[in-house]
Chain A
Amino acid sequence: MDGKPNFQTAAVASLPGAAKGTAVSAADEWFEREVLPLEALLMQFLERNWRNASDLPDLRQDVYVRVYEAARKEIPQHTRQFVLTTARNLLINRARHERVVPIETAADLDDLGLAHDAPGPDQVALARDELRHLQAALDRLPPRSREAIVLRRIQGLTREEIAARMGISELSVTRYLSRAICLLADTLHGEPANIRRKP
């Protein structure tokens, strides 16, 4: 095609910014667009290679910090491979540190189809019945957090109004909302409806 259609630049420019009034760095954009959709895959990988499930959120955060800092210097070419390799190295380091028995991470990487960096789950993961998925995520929240987030997000009430409605302090409202936001992120990023988990 000659003459690039003009909507292309517009579509790129309208990608959500990282923060109001803060310059959107390329790393932020890359992180949102390419890394976050891989969360289900990453969690699956961590889960299978780390015995202690309660460590998983921390491990995930460590992986994210590492890949993000690397991207600040240079955006990696193959995101999938980069994220999983980072995760593997992190696990190996931790395992050495804690002197736990070997993990068969290398074999597992091939298992995940890493060898061919092609049709990633990022495309698959994004195609889903969004609303149904959101509703399911909502239904899984603890009752108070769910009530708070419904009032905030669907009914559009302010924190003050929610506090009055639920008969609790504004501080508690904030806590319930924050909790809901964290849990929703776990479900929405981490468990896409149509990525099949291996048994």
Chain B
Amino acid sequence: MSGLEEEAEALDKRAVEMRAAEFVERRDGADWTDADEQRFAHWLEESSAHRVAFLRLNASWRRTERLVALKAPELRASSAPREARRFRFLPMAAAFVLAIVSGGLLTAYFSAPRYDTYATTIGGHETLKLHDGTRIELNTNTLVRIAQTQSRRLVKLERGEAYFDVHHDEKRPFIVVTDGGRIVDIGTKFSARVEGERLRLSLLEGRVRFETKDGSGRPHEVQLVPGETLVSAAGSITLSTKAPRELTSDLAWRSGMLVFHETSLAEAVAQFNRYNETKIVIVDPRASRETINGKLPTNDLEEFERMARNIFGLRAVKRGNELVLTR
């Protein structure tokens, strides 16, 4: 190849990238027509270079969707109808206040809905069914408070982990409240786990919005797409994408199992201990770093012990509430 040819080829590659970028942006616009779509499909078919350039740019373009979160939520168009609705009810509320005299009582009545409490013990697993068809599965050592009003369904996840299969109702939003922020369902299956201020949210299907405030009280919101996991802790939000297999493993508790892929023994023990009153302790730091694969029933202490013995040659000594594994 001569130097000139090479240069021409390099220029051509840059042109392909710019063209791909143009398609990426224009396809997302309102003025994209069927004719455009055809031209685009044709261009894609022309060469693999076109296709990979498009796939690559489009993947990062989709990620920039998140940038919308930088926009202050109150600027959103969707808040307008909410205002209008509130206004309509105002005269009626005013009449009510007059009749009852005590306005304070009225506000208290509406802002403090009655909560029912549901909890599981260590190793427990319960499924709650709401009238609207929503299912909530509570994992081990979990406590939720549920309030249902005319205008919304509220779940306070106070402790532990739950899986939500929500029957979407636009008029009665389903909201999960945690210390770290609120999860608003937009037609969804998701799971949430709290540990103190730390919240872990995984979306399996549909859409869900996470709302929180930063240290200075500024609101932030993030919309998740299926396969994403959000971790909110100490004022920071981390989003990651998980392979379907991993998400499935994370939810294996729903069928009473724990699944490990290249999990360190220390981490496996931590997970296992969530389900059992008897806590496993590993003293040997080298053994803690060993990794394991496979699955175990969440409450089968004996099986865990057998695995530790057969695979890692660890001995188990029972000491009060603890099962100590040593070399």
Contact = CB atoms under 8 A, between A and B. Distances in A.
Given A64-B52, A182-B17, A19 B240 contact: no
Give the interface residue-count category, chain A: 35 or more
Contacts of B62: 16
Interface string B277-308: 00000000000000000010000000000000
Nearest to B11: A58
A106 interface: no
A155 B71 CA distance: 8
Interface in B63-82: 63-71
A164 interface: no
A132 B204 CA distance: 24
B24 A181 contact: yes
A147 interface: no
12 contacts: A10-B189, A36-B55, A61-B17, A128-B240, A130-B238, A130-B239, A131-B70, A174-B22, A177-B22, A178-B21, A182-B21, A188-B64
Q: Is the interface of A mostly helix, strand, loop or mixed?
A: helix
A28 B55 CA distance: 7
A113 to B, nearest CB: 14
Nearest to A177: B25
Interface string B13-33: 110111001101111011100
Interface residues of B, number: 70
B227 interface: yes
A5 B251 contact: yes
Interface in B36-57: 37, 40-41, 44, 47-49, 51-57
Contacts of A77: none
A19 B67 contact: no
Contacts of A158: 29-31
Contacts of B63: 130, 134, 188
A104 interface: no
Given A11-B227, A154-B71, A189 B238 contact: no
Contact of A58 (B10, B71, B226, B255): B10
Interface in A3-49: 3, 5, 7-8, 10-12, 14-16, 18-22, 28, 31-33, 36
